[in-house]
A and B are shown apart, each in its own frame.
Chain A
């Protein structure tokens, strides 16, 4: 292409014809490049619609066989080919809820530390370290959770929880049963560690975007650092923080491998968070290659569809929130 351009500009003495044809070639390559980028755009569009379409088509047999009862029944029996998604849906929601209960306060506090308390020279190393946590593949969290964290919980934390809450109405059932080590609580805890960096990173970014004048005004009134954070920074960045939290929630809902290792894969809805359970993604990962028969496969794909719809909604809200923040900033 460069030769074409050079010829077009230097060959002023040669026939005007060659100049015109060179220009034409330039114009052509210009159009071709532009159209290529448009094709790539439509490829991205096609990807998402392809995912949705494939999931819908794949789950038709299961959904037509079970109808709405698919999401309301707990039975999951490959032998009699009766499938209900209640246990995986329940497990997905509960593990994610546990993860958010732990990760949101911790993530916000880390961001508070990074933006308001941390000495400048330490800021970057700590931020990078926390972001490296996000880069560790989920299978690593899984193997670590299974061999290190679950036995630790089983020996030390879970017996303590069971003893402490024994006899307390309500909580007694939440922390009931033998300490398996693996189970819903363990999965939720590992998810919390995994989404922590996402929440921290976004909160830090939005906290940094607070105009210094606002903070200085509050300090000038004699506010403490915590008061400035709570009454000035947080209200100002509410929308962005919620967006970041939703983004973390989207991650937690769809996370597969880490959960698969430690959840125990039991298709039951149990009140106790110490009991083994399953999530949508763990069920698919554990059973898909072994699924015999169209109905079994289709039921697992239907699970995938449900997961995709849930995460789509959560992520859409997150993006909307962050977008609103951007427009606010303008």
Chain B
């Protein structure tokens, strides 16, 4: 009798285990399924509209054909400026956290604040830049858009720089110090060099992050139907154009939105894969 009950108990435990494991398989398929589904739909809709004119013509007025040239250029210009502003600040701050302030109070406060900034809603960053740049200047501008993106770049770079510098063995630092190298020279010549791949990874991830950001650009750079590289005027960007075109009732616009979406996704995925392979090779 006891034997039978024990077997029943064992069978129940076995069944619960196989149920849980099959649920885990199902959950993984579910998660991967979305990636496949999203990419498939993007390729399907995006490739249809992909042609040379996408890269040679500006965004069209409703109801006619055109391309995304001005939006692509606007995105690139603002992204580059954001990286130029954001990375030096980010790398320097990350250097302080990893090299000078490993154990001090200030560093731990900054680390916490940086983590908050890292996950802060990007639309709030847009509001902030609107308040401090757009409203005082009286108009939307490419500069404001680039600064908003830079605010998003900084915490990403701070975080990866600190993490990567921490992976540099302390023996290297001690060796540098023992031959009389000042600390700053040790950091620039030894630590940065050892952590270079990781820091570049951080910058690439930051580019990937901001090249798809829409919310902070909506009311900083706004948009522009025409060719414009004037940073002091409203500037078009790929994500904002996608937003506007996708929600429009015009078929040509919607098709361009899909093509733009495909371009952004391919760029972002390529950047993150390159970034990953950079650090993977080292470890």
Contact = CB atoms under 8 A, between A and B. Distances in A.
Interface of A: 1, 5, 26-27, 29-30, 32-34, 36-41, 43-45, 47-48, 50-51, 54-55, 57-58, 105-107, 109-110, 112-114, 116-118, 126, 128-133, 135-144, 146-148, 193, 196-197, 200, 224-227, 229-230, 247, 250-251, 253-257, 260-261, 281, 284-285, 288-289, 300-301, 304, 307-308, 311-312, 315-316, 319
B236 to A, nearest CB: 14
Contacts of B123: 254, 256, 281, 284-285, 304, 307
Q: Is the interface of A mostly helix, strand, loop or mixed?
A: helix
A140 B261 contact: yes
B113 A139 contact: no
Nearest to A58: B131
Interface in B1-32: 13-14, 16-17, 19-21, 23-28, 30-32
Interface residues of B, number: 92
A226 B32 contact: no
Given A110-B27, A135-B269, A51 B128 contact: yes
B84 to A, nearest CB: 15
Interface in B205-245: 208, 211-215, 218-219, 222, 239, 242-243
Interface string B90-105: 1011011101110000
Given A40-B96, A137-B214, A316 B42 contact: no
Given A40-B92, A308-B124, A227 B13 contact: yes
B30 A43 contact: no
B64 interface: no
Given A37-B99, A47-B154, 12 more contacts: A1-B185, A30-B182, A40-B90, A40-B96, A113-B28, A128-B276, A133-B31, A144-B261, A197-B31, A301-B127, A301-B131, A308-B120
Pairs A-B, 7 closest by C-beta atoms: A137-B212, A254-B121, A33-B184, A40-B92, A109-B27, A224-B17, A37-B96
Contact of A110 (B31, B158, B246, B264): B31
Contacts of B203: none
Contact of A136 (B38, B183, B242): B38
A133 B35 CA distance: 6
Interface in B230-283: 239, 242-243, 246-247, 254, 257-258, 261, 264-265, 268-269, 272-273, 276
Contacts of B100: 34, 37-38
B82 interface: no
Contact of A311 (B96, B101, B119): B119
A37 B222 CA distance: 33
Interface of B: 13-14, 16-17, 19-21, 23-28, 30-32, 34-35, 38, 41-42, 45, 88-90, 92-93, 95-97, 99-101, 106-107, 109-110, 112-117, 119-128, 130-132, 151, 154-155, 158, 181-185, 187-188, 208, 211-215, 218-219, 222, 239, 242-243, 246-247, 254, 257-258, 261, 264-265, 268-269, 272-273, 276
Given A36-B92, A44-B158, A137-B264, A50 B219 contact: no
A38 B97 CA distance: 9
A37 B92 contact: yes
Contacts of B45: 147
B121 A41 contact: no
A95 to B, nearest CB: 13
